[in-house]
Each structure stands twice: as structure tokens, then as C-alpha cells.
Structure 1
Amino acid sequence: AAAGQNRDVRVLIRHLYSSILEGSGLSFSGVFHTGTVTELGREWKMAESMGAVCDRKVVARTTHLVYVARGEGGATEKLVEAVQRGDVQVVAPEWLLACRSAWDKVDEDFVRPRNWEAIRQEAQSRAQQRTQHRDAKKRKIDGEIKCEGKMNEETGDAKERENGQSLLQEVRGLVDDVEEFLSAAGDAGGG
């Protein structure tokens, strides 16, 4: 009976451990060195073992970005995307260790990346520039469509006038032909 209980406890512990980050979607930036297979990284494996779903990119299901600043200008593309979305928590890798130690999801505010405020501001600035660039591009495209549409209207109006004038000339030609025919028929009937 004792051996069966030990097995049950191990199963229970494994189940509890694998539910720590259940419902969390993680992505990583600056955590793994270039050329490393991210899926084999310690942090990736730890997150998955605690029930998180991990992705190489920031995707729709991403709830957390595990981030390490590397070098100057710490805002990576993934960080900019996460900040731009606004619903992704950015945490240091130590957050995973804290969750593991607590056997629970730890408050993200306690485990932010080093220099978080400066990096967050840089990412927000880049996200704002990206949004402005996208909006300017959209306005340009919208303007080109409106301009093209206006040209099509003007061209269409000119074509309609041209077609109308051509049709009017045909009708006048037919009227002339009918008058000629009637005139000839009248001359033939009256003689």
C-alpha cells in the first residue's frame, strides 16, 4: 500500500508542478544566444514543464515575454511588439525561478528586467514610431486610392461624354437616313 501511495504522491506533485504556468504563453528575447536551439534551452524547458506553451515569436497567445537586455539599445523587435500590444507581461528569466520556488505564478512586477523603465520607454518610443509609420503608409495608400478613384471618375466622365457624343452622331446619321428614305418614298409616291 505504501508503494502505491508514493506513486500517487509523485503523480500529484508532477500534476501540481505542471499547472504552475498553465494558460501562459511565453516567448523569449535575449535569453538564448544566437545559434542556440531555443527549444533545448533551460528556461524554455522549465517553462514547458510548469505548463506554459512556448513560442519562438510573440504570437496571439503570448502572455509573457521573458527578456534579457543585451548591449546598447535594449529594445528588441519582440520587446517592441510586446509593448505595442500592451497585454504582454515582460519579465526577467528569474521570474521562472520565482514561480518554480513558489509553486505558483509570481507577480510579474517583482521580477522585471534590469533597467526596465528605460528599456520600456525605448520600446514604447519605437512602437509609437512603428505605428506612425504604418499610419502614414496607410494614409498614402488611401490617398493613392482616392486619387486613382477620382482619376477614374474623371476618365469615366470623359469616356461617357465621348460615348454619348458618338451615339448622338449615330442617331443623327440614322435620322438623316430616315428623312432621306421618307423623302425618297414621298417623291416616288407623288410622281
Structure 2
Amino acid sequence: MAHSDIDHLIQLLAKLPGLGPRSARRATLYLISRRESLLAPLSAAMAEAALNVKICGRCGNLDTVDPCSICQDITRDPSILCVVEDVSDLWALERSEAFKGQYHVLGGTLSALDGVGPDELNIEPPIGRVLGGGIDEVILALNATVDGQTTSHYLSERLSEGGVNITRLAHGVPVGGELDYLDDGTLSAALKSRRSLG
């Protein structure tokens, strides 16, 4: 591997969340020193993921099938829709095993500072799902940040015409907290003690 290849790998790894240049150099050295047992299989797995992973056209989850395995699961309750900010939040809720309904991933939150308005998010599909009928409750499981609360308020106003019960996560989710960092018990308690926004 030429030195420029090593530098390129370091630069790519440094773009990952939680890794800066120093951590990326350490990770690169670790991967190269374990070329056969780690680097080659990781490279193959990443190539497979790049080819096979799709965005679910119904909910926005990531899977190798479209619709995703959650949307295809007939044991899940289709009358409850849980709206989340990102796929990482969906996965966090799935780890808790407390929610057995359907999901919708917005792809972010409204943010005036960052110039993110309703048109930049995947907002219209869940509204269409609700107005199309068959959904009794929408859980707004957005992060307890200012942008998350703004998005929840916007969605609750847009969804109110659908005549559904609109709830949000309650106890256990601290203000400023992010779902992906919470433990499974906290997420379970938050889902069970959700309350209406109305």
C-alpha cells in the first residue's frame, strides 16, 4: 500500500462521526496490521453494503429489501405510526423492543439556523399515510432539542386534521437528549408513558 493510499484511508476514516485525524490514524494502523482478519473482510462488507442496502420507499429505514423487513412484518400494528428523526433513532427504538407499530423517518428536523424547512425533510409521506386512513395514533419520537420540539409542533399542527391521537415520548427522555444515546430501559419507559400533545 503506497503512502498516499494510507493517507487517503486516514482522510476517509476521519470523516466518520466521533473520529478525528488522530483516531483515524490509529484506526488505519490497526486495520492495516490486521489486513487478513479485519481489513479485507471490512472492505468486502462495505462493498456489499454499498451495493445492497436500500432506503425503504415506505418508511425511510435502511435494509436490503424495499419495503424494509419492518414494513413487511404483518405482526406489527399498522394503526400506530412512530415518527423519528433519523434511522439511528428507529434502530434505538427497535433495540428497546418496546414498540411494535410502524415507523416513518423524517431525515432530520426543522432548523431555521441551518436553513432546513419542511421541503428538505420527508414530511409529506407520513401526513399522506395518516390522511389516507387506518392510523389511530402518531407518536412523535423526536429528540428533545429545540429543533425536535419545533418539528413536533409543526407535525402536530399538520396532522391534527387527520383526527388521530398525536402523542410524544414522555418520562425518561431528558431535554437536550438524543434517542440513540439512551439505554433500552429508558426508551421503553418513554414509549409506555407517552402523552397527548393536544
* Structure-1-length-normalised TM-score: 0.28
Q: Would you tell me which structure has more strand in proportion to its own residues?
A: 2
